[in-house]
Amino acid sequence: MEKSHLNLFELVNVCVRCGNCLTSCPVYEIQRDEAVSPRGKIYLIKYGLEGKIKEKGILDVLPYCSLCGGCEFVCPSGIRTIDIIIEARKKWGKNRLKKIAIDGLTKEIFPAHLFTTILSIISPEKFPFSPSPRPFLSTVNEFIKGKGKGKVLFFVGCLTNKFFPNIARAISEIVVKAGYDLYIPKGQVCCGFPYLSIGEEREFQKMKTHNLKMIKKIEPDLIISPCPTGLNTFRRYYRLDNVIDVSNFVLKNLEHLKLKNLNWNMTWHDPCHLKKELGIRKEPRKVLSIVGNFVEMERPDLCCGFGGSFSLSHPEISFKIRNKKKEFVLESGADYLVTECPGCIMFLGSYSPVKTLHLGEIVNRAIR
Ligand code: SF4
Ligand code: SF4
């Protein structure tokens, strides 16, 4: 048996069946089926490894996970469900169609709009986003001199680069205004997580090797990104500890940024990988309380429903989760929905009556 499958055996055997994870799983909340709950999937994988059920039994449930990390956050046994699902997908559940869509988003093999075109075709609603004609990385210099306070590497991320250059510009300006020298390597590639999430380990490793080489050349003090999935991938799978999100960067540099209060009524959505994986919860709320009137919505950490390629394979579930979330946003009475993830912005921002912005955009407006 391959080593990775031995690890998988060890991982699944730690579950004590307490069921805590069921209430934090957005997919289970919609489907109400134990088989697709975190616990259910773990046990089916276990039985598959022990040869007690056929491969089809596992293949049927493996796609029912957006890798949001909600179950890991509450598991008393410290089970890393995301790793279990990824290992199982490597062994049983590779998905060629998803790989083509991810290639479209992350590489130049297919046009970037393939991702949203597919989403528009298979979704229950029209999907209003399309890529910018000028991706951020094609428009900027690779180095912007600040005041020499330190070196910050900007990892832009695929979605921000292609769909939200405005978010990337805002964050670049914040970093330079805080006094840092900013490095924006044009050769950066996807963090690789979209490939890992569908079990494509080889593609992931290629991207990891490429990005690590680029990071080593610059030797930054900090790596900032608008994308919590990218930051989490750098920390969890690249083993880098100098990653920083926008909220922590802003709080670290409050003195230099001199923020004013915009007096906007804003609520906050916790992106799954920001809160449940990176443990960042208080910091963005603190920033929002400085730059505006912060109002907490009900269940701010309910997943937006996107889950990357999960929204391609299970659009009905994705949109049902998103609609629940939108109700909470509306009930909050806020005029702005703020978050720190381009995927959440894309998904929650579609047809939202409340303007959805990245924290970086808000902070950049609030700089005096
Ligand atoms: S990672 Fe999220 S979607 Fe997947 S099983 Fe855990 S809670 Fe459910
Ligand atoms: S919370 Fe953890 S230990 Fe409890 S059922 Fe879920 S995976 Fe198993």
23 touches ligand 2 (CB under 6 Å): no
The per-residue pLDDT of the chain, averaged, comes to: 89
Supply the pLDDT for residue 128. 61
Rounded to whole angstroms, the Cα distance separating 88 from 98 reads: 16
Rounded to whole angstroms, the Cα distance separating 104 from 114 reads: 6
Residue % of the chain over a pLDDT of 90:
67
Supply the pLDDT for residue 244. 98
Supply the pLDDT for residue 351. 65
Boundaries of every domain in the chain = 3-91, 136-250, 254-366
Higher pLDDT: 294 or 123? It is 294
**Pocket-forming residues, ligand 1, beta carbon under 6 Å:** 24-27, 38, 65-71, 81-82
Supply the pLDDT for residue 122. 61
Residue 21 Cα: closest atom of ligand 1: 7
Tell me the CATH number for domain 3-91.
Answer: 1.10.1060.10
Per residue in 252-266, pLDDT tens? 999 999 999 999 999
Ligand nearest to the CA of 70: 1
Rounded to whole angstroms, the Cα distance separating 356 from 339 reads: 8
Residue % of the chain over a pLDDT of 70:
88
Per residue in 337-358, pLDDT tens? 999 999 999 888 876 678 999 9
The one-letter amino acid code at 297 reads M
Supply the pLDDT for residue 116. 63
pLDDT at 110 over 60: no
pLDDT at 3 over 50: no
pLDDT at 190 over 90: yes
Tell me the CATH number for domain 254-366.
Answer: 3.40.50
Higher pLDDT: 6 or 148? It is 148
DSSP 3-state of 222? strand
Residue 20 Cα: closest atom of ligand 2: 1
Rounded to whole angstroms, the Cα distance separating 367 from 4 reads: 48
Supply the pLDDT for residue 1. 37
Higher pLDDT: 241 or 106? It is 241
342 touches ligand 2 (CB under 6 Å): no
DSSP 3-state of 52? coil
Supply the pLDDT for residue 127. 63
Cα of 69 from ligand 1 centre, angstroms: 6
Q: Write the DSSP symbol of residue 261.
A: P
| 229-233: long-range pairs with CB below 8 Å, 24+ | 229/157, 229/191, 229/193, 229/273, 229/308, 229/341, 229/343, 230/155, 230/157, 230/191, 230/193, 231/155, 231/273, 231/274, 231/278, 232/193, 232/273, 232/277, 232/278, 233/191, 233/192, 233/193, 233/196
Higher pLDDT: 11 or 31? It is 31
For residues 230-236, give the mean pLDDT.
96
Instruction: List, in sequence order, every residue forming a beta bridge with 26; answer none if it has no partner.
Output: none
Distances (CA, A) of 368 to 167, 361, 363: 18, 14, 10
> Are 270 and 330 spatial neighbours (Cβ–Cβ below 8 Å)?
no
Cα of 285 from ligand 1 centre, angstroms: 25
pLDDT at 21 over 50: yes
The CB-side HSE value for 346 (13 A sphere, CA atoms) comes to: 27
Residue 81 Cα: closest atom of ligand 2: 7
Give the range among 55-64, 87-96, 197-206, 257-266 with minimum mean pLDDT: 87-96
19 touches ligand 2 (CB under 6 Å): yes
Supply the pLDDT for residue 102. 74
Residue 19 Cα: closest atom of ligand 2: 5
**Sheet hosting strand 151-154, strand order edge to edge:** 143-144, 181-183, 151-154, 222-224, 243-244
Supply the pLDDT for residue 255. 93
Supply the pLDDT for residue 309. 74
> Are 367 and 250 spatial neighbours (Cβ–Cβ below 8 Å)?
no
Rounded to whole angstroms, the Cα distance separating 200 from 96 reads: 10
Q: Which conformational region is residue 305 in: left (phi greater than 0), alpha (psi within -120 to 50 degrees), or beta?
A: left
Residue 22 Cα: closest atom of ligand 2: 6
Classified by CATH at the fold level, domain 136-250 comes out as Rossmann fold (3.40.50)
Higher pLDDT: 55 or 278? It is 278
pLDDT at 95 over 80: no
Supply the pLDDT for residue 2. 40
Give the range among 158-162, 211-215, 249-253 with minimum mean pLDDT: 158-162
Q: Which two tokens stand for residue 226?
A: 């608008």
pLDDT at 6 over 60: no
pLDDT at 44 over 80: yes
Report pTM. Answer: 0.90
pLDDT at 232 over 70: yes
Rounded to whole angstroms, the Cα distance separating 167 from 110 reads: 24
Cα of 97 from ligand 1 centre, angstroms: 22
Same fold, 3-91 and 136-250: no
